[in-house]
Structure 1
Amino acid sequence: MPRFTTVALAAGAALLVRRAVRSRMTSAPLWPLPSLETPVSGYGRGATVPRRVLVTGRAVPAEGVVELRLEGERLPSWEPGAHLDLVLPSGQIRQYSLCGDPAQPDVYRIAARLIAEEQGGRGGSREVHEQLHEGVEIEVRGPRNRFPLVSSPAYVFVAGGIGITPVLPMVRAAEAAGADWRLVYCGRTRASMPYLADLVRIGGDRVTVVAEDEDGYPDLSFLAQVPAEAQVYCCGPDGLMDAVAAAMPEGRAPRLERFSAVAPADGTPFEVELRRSGRTVAVAADQSVLAAVREEVPGLMYSCTQGFCGTCRQTVLDGEVDHRDELLTDAERADSMLICVSRCAGKKLVLDL
Structure 2
Amino acid sequence: MTDLELVVARKETAAEGVVCLTLRRPGGEPLPPWEPGAHVDLLLADGLERQYSLCGDPGDRSALTVAVLREPESRGGSTFVHERLAEGAVLRVRGPRNNFALTGSPRYLFLAGGIGITPIVPMVAEADARGADWRLVYGGRSRASMAFADALTAKYGDRVRVLPEDETGLLPLDELLGTPEPDTAVYCCGPEPLLAAVEERCAAWGPGVLHVERFAPRDDAGAGPRESFEVELAVSGRTFTVPGDKSILEVLEDAGVPVLSSCQEGTCGTCETDVREGVPDHRDSLLTDEERAAGETMLICVSRSCGPRLVLEL
The TM-score, its normalising length taken from structure 2, stands at: 0.81
Q: Is the 8 A contact 2:231 2:309 kept in 1?
A: no
- Once the two structures are TM-superposed, the CA of residue 214 in structure 1 deviates from its matched residue by 1.9
1:49 aligns to 2:2 (yes or no): yes
Paired amino acid for 2:224: G
For residues 312 and 102 of structure 2, the distance between their equivalents in structure 1, rounded to whole angstroms, comes to: 35
1:322 aligns to 2:259 (yes or no): no
1:269: which partner in 2? 226
1:6: which partner in 2? none
- Once the two structures are TM-superposed, the CA of residue 308 in structure 1 deviates from its matched residue by 4.7
Q: Greater shift after overlay, 217-226 or 166-175?
A: 217-226
Which of the residues 72, 85, 95 maps onto 1:116? Answer: 72
Residues 289, 69 of structure 1: alpha-carbon distance in 2 compared, 3 angstrom cutoff: same
- Once the two structures are TM-superposed, the CA of residue 343 in structure 1 deviates from its matched residue by 1.6
2:184: which partner in 1? 230
For residues 183 and 296 of structure 2, the distance between their equivalents in structure 1, rounded to whole angstroms, comes to: 37
Match of 1:283, SS?
Answer: coil
For residues 91 and 229 of structure 2, the distance between their equivalents in structure 1, rounded to whole angstroms, comes to: 36
Q: Which has the higher contact order (CA 8 A, sep 6+)?
A: 1
- Once the two structures are TM-superposed, the CA of residue 205 in structure 1 deviates from its matched residue by 2.0
2:145: which partner in 1? 192
Count residues in correspondence. 297
Match of 1:90, SS?
Answer: helix
For residues 272 and 213 of structure 2, the distance between their equivalents in structure 1, rounded to whole angstroms, comes to: 21
For residues 249 and 129 of structure 1, the distance between their equivalents in structure 2, rounded to whole angstroms, comes to: 38
Gaps of 5+ in 2: none
Give 1 or 2: higher strand fraction. Answer: 2
Paired amino acid for 2:17: G
Residues 313, 166 of structure 1: alpha-carbon distance in 2 compared, 3 angstrom cutoff: closer
1:126 aligns to 2:79 (yes or no): yes
Q: Is the 8 A contact 1:160 1:237 kept in 2?
A: yes
Deviations along 1:172-195, one digit per CA (max 9) or x if unpaired, are 122222222211111111111111
- Once the two structures are TM-superposed, the CA of residue 266 in structure 1 deviates from its matched residue by 4.2
1:101: which partner in 2? 57
Residues 295, 51 of structure 1: alpha-carbon distance in 2 compared, 3 angstrom cutoff: closer
- Once the two structures are TM-superposed, the CA of residue 53 in structure 1 deviates from its matched residue by 1.0
Q: Is the 8 A contact 1:270 1:348 kept in 2?
A: no
For residues 23 and 148 of structure 2, the distance between their equivalents in structure 1, rounded to whole angstroms, comes to: 18
Paired amino acid for 1:233: Y
1:346 aligns to 2:307 (yes or no): yes
Q: Is the 8 A contact 1:69 1:108 kept in 2?
A: yes
Residues 342, 249 of structure 1: alpha-carbon distance in 2 compared, 3 angstrom cutoff: closer
Gaps of 5+ in 1: 1-47
Residues 152, 281 of structure 1: alpha-carbon distance in 2 compared, 3 angstrom cutoff: closer
1:248: which partner in 2? 202
For residues 43 and 67 of structure 2, the distance between their equivalents in structure 1, rounded to whole angstroms, comes to: 15
For residues 90 and 306 of structure 2, the distance between their equivalents in structure 1, rounded to whole angstroms, comes to: 42
For residues 229 and 313 of structure 1, the distance between their equivalents in structure 2, rounded to whole angstroms, comes to: 30
Matched-pair identity in %: 46
Paired amino acid for 2:68: A
Q: Greater shift after overlay, 207-216 or 158-167?
A: 207-216
Q: Is the 8 A contact 2:229 2:307 kept in 1?
A: no
The TM-score, its normalising length taken from structure 1, stands at: 0.73
Paired amino acid for 2:59: A
Q: Greater shift after overlay, 303-312 or 222-231?
A: 303-312
Residues 316, 207 of structure 1: alpha-carbon distance in 2 compared, 3 angstrom cutoff: closer
Residues 189, 299 of structure 1: alpha-carbon distance in 2 compared, 3 angstrom cutoff: farther
